[in-house]
Amino acid sequence: MEAIVLQILSGLDGGSAYALIALGLTLIFGTLGVVNFAHGALFMIGAFCTVTLQRLLSYSHTVIDESQKDFLGNPLKVQVPYIQDWFGEAAANTIIDWSVPLAILFAIPVMLIIGIVMERGLIKHFYKRPHADQILVTFGLAIVLQEIIKAYYGANPIPAPAPDVFKGSFDFGVLLGFDANRIIYPYWRLVYFAFAALLITGVFVFLQFTTFGMVVRAGMADRETVGLLGIDIDKRFTIMFGLAACVAGLAGVMYTPINSPNYHMGMDFLVISFVVVVVGGMGSLPGAVLAGFVLGILQSFASMREVIEFLPGINQIVIYLAAIVILLTRPRGLMGRRGVMEE
């Protein structure tokens, strides 16, 4: 029982990342009809927004400390962050410690701009082209973006720890009445799950209860008719692209303490996220979220030692097996709508 609870918990935070990326993918596909293979790169850029902010906050001037030596035996050059000069050491340390949550504020405008520039500068030229062309161009763009990041930040992972207050883990099992030390779970992963739930709710509320969202939903259902009503639906869809980029970017920002950011992290999520979208049902936002969590939990169970010993290699293929079974039994996915990507 403890193992089951633990794997469900473990699946929830993995599912959170899948759900957030798949949600953005579905938003773009549902509004613009574009299969965006650069979406994983947006997740990665979000993570590097954290790294960038961390570096900006740590931007330093050099002070020579004669009492210490560097690795060559020369007087040590100590880097003193400018914010330490401005706010004092304690305040500076607190600000740097909280750089991951602060990066949310930094990433929102950055990701919106990147999303809008991407859509206006490149992707709009491929709206009327076949999906294969869209996949090729967005996949190419993803490679370009990750190579740019690698050229600037290097290939090694860069640590971006959570604030001290969220470091460590707590005994979830004791809360549920199990023995101590049986179900240990990191604080930050719970924060990530809560953040994902909040963000997903926010997107649904925005689409469901605002005029802008209503127009977008109408445009998703029948773009031409909405256009005939004199509404500039293209402009709204561009903003939706920016919003989807923002969702992916924020998912990346908050993911950094879980896994140190590296240039390849977007690609690691991309394929699975597409499976999530297909399993959830092309164009279905609730489907993407549901499939994200279902597949996350399924993958978690398939990674159990007992399961791997019984079915070696199942941990590597379970998501694809599940996709095959679901698509055979429900060809439109869990919550797919009739007419989406169908002749």
Partner 1 sequence: MSFSNLTRRGLIQTGAVAGAGLALPTYLRADGHSGYTNAPTGDTVTLGFNVPQSGPYADEGADELRAYELAVEHLNGGGDGGMMGTFSSKALSGSGILGKKVAYVTGDTQTKPDAARASAKSMIEKDGAVMITGGSSSGVAVAVQSLCQEAGIIFMAGLTHSNDTTGKDKKANGFRHFFNSYMSGAALAPILGENYGKDRKAYHLTADYNWGYTTEEAVRTSTEALGWETVAAVKTPLAQTDFKDYVAPVLQSGADILVLNHYGGNMVNSLTSAVQFGLREAQANGKNFEIIVPLYSRLMAKGAGENVKGIFGSTNWHWSLTDEGSKAFVKSFGTKYGFPPSQAAHTCYVQTLLYADAAERAGSFNPCAIAEALEGFEFDGLGNGKTLYRAEDHQCFKDVLVVKGKENPDNEFDLLEIVEVTPAAQVTYDASIFGGELGTCNPGA
* Contacts to partner 1 by CB under 8 A: 2-3, 6-7, 9-11, 13-14, 68, 70-72, 76, 150, 154-159, 161, 168-169, 181-182, 184-186, 188-189, 257-260, 262, 264-265, 268, 299-300, 303-305, 308, 315-316
When the beta carbons of 76 and 215 are compared against partner 1, the nearer one is 76
Buried b (16+ CB within 10 A) or exposed e, 268-298: ebbebbbbbbbbbbbbbbebbbbbbbbbbbb
Pairing of strands 184-186, 75-81: unpaired
User: Residue 166 Cβ, how far from partner 1 at the closest point, in Å?
Assistant: 10
When the beta carbons of 85 and 179 are compared against partner 1, the nearer one is 179
When the beta carbons of 26 and 146 are compared against partner 1, the nearer one is 146
d(CA 245, CA 27): 10
When the beta carbons of 93 and 303 are compared against partner 1, the nearer one is 303
User: Residue 249 Cβ, how far from partner 1 at the closest point, in Å?
Assistant: 18
User: Residue 18 Cβ, how far from partner 1 at the closest point, in Å?
Assistant: 11
d(CA 176, CA 173): 5
User: Residue 259 Cβ, how far from partner 1 at the closest point, in Å?
Assistant: 5
User: Residue 257 Cβ, how far from partner 1 at the closest point, in Å?
Assistant: 8
Contact 5, 171 (CB under 8 A): no
d(CA 149, CA 116): 19
Positive or negative, the CA dihedral 60, 62, 68, 72 is: positive
d(CA 60, CA 79): 5
When the beta carbons of 9 and 245 are compared against partner 1, the nearer one is 9
Q: Quick one: tokens of 19? A: 């759900």
